[in-house]
């Protein structure tokens, strides 16, 4: 019973399934909605974020990993709370305030967590 390396193939399969799901969802979206500027900008952005998450999780170590996770979280929140309302043509002031607050709280938590927890 070797535990060594047992989680790597499972994580690899999960990552492959996630990438396959993203490709299928993007293809279905483009087939149903057609090509527009929003879709052509959003799909590469989401793919780039996916590669960034994969890089952070597989190739970085603490404490850098936690700071990069907070940066990715802030980027995703910025897309959801600021960029999406701008694209829809609605007000984004509340989203901007929420994005700033959640991002600051996330970075503050990471900073204090990294100062107090041993490596």
Model pLDDT for residues 57-83, shown as the tens digit of each residue: 889 998 899 999 999 999 999 988 988
Residues 84 and 103 grouped into a single domain: yes
Distance (Å, rounded) from C-alpha 40 to C-alpha 43? 6
Instruction: State the pLDDT confidence band at 34, using cuts at 50, 70 and 90.
Output: confident
Q: What is the mean pLDDT of the chain?
A: 84
**Token output for 4:** 């060594």
User: Which residues, at least 6 apart from 111, have a Cβ–Cβ distance to it below 8 Å?
Assistant: none
> Could you tell me what percent of the chain has a pLDDT over 90?
28
Distance (Å, rounded) from C-alpha 73 to C-alpha 54? 14
**pLDDT over threshold 60, residue 7:** no
How many of the other CB atoms lie within 10 Å of CB of 104? 11
**Token output for 2:** 């070797």
The range of the structural domain enclosing residue 2 comes to 1-34
Q: Does residue 76 contact residue 84 with C-beta atoms inside 8 Å?
A: no
Domain membership of residue 39 (yes or no) is: no
Instruction: State the pLDDT confidence band at 1, using cuts at 50, 70 and 90.
Output: very low
Residues 15 and 68 grouped into a single domain: no
Domain membership of residue 107 (yes or no) is: yes
| Sole residue written with tokens 């299928």 | 24
Residues 13 and 69 grouped into a single domain: no
């Amino acid at each position: 019973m070797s535990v060594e390396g047992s989680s790597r193939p499972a994580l690899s399969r999960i990552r492959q399934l996630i990438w396959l799901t993203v490709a299928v969802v993007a293809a279905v979206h483009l087939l149903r909605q057609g090509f527009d500027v929003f879709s052509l900008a959003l799909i590469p952005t989401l793919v780039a974020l996916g590669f960034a998450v994969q890089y952070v999780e597989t190739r970085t170590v603490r404490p850098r990993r936690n700071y990069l996770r907070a940066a990715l979280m802030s980027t995703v929140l910025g897309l959801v709370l600021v960029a999406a309302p701008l694209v829809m043509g609605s007000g984004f002031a509340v989203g901007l305030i929420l994005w700033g607050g959640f991002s600051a709280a996330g970075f503050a938590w990471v900073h204090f967590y990294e100062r107090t927890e041993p490596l």
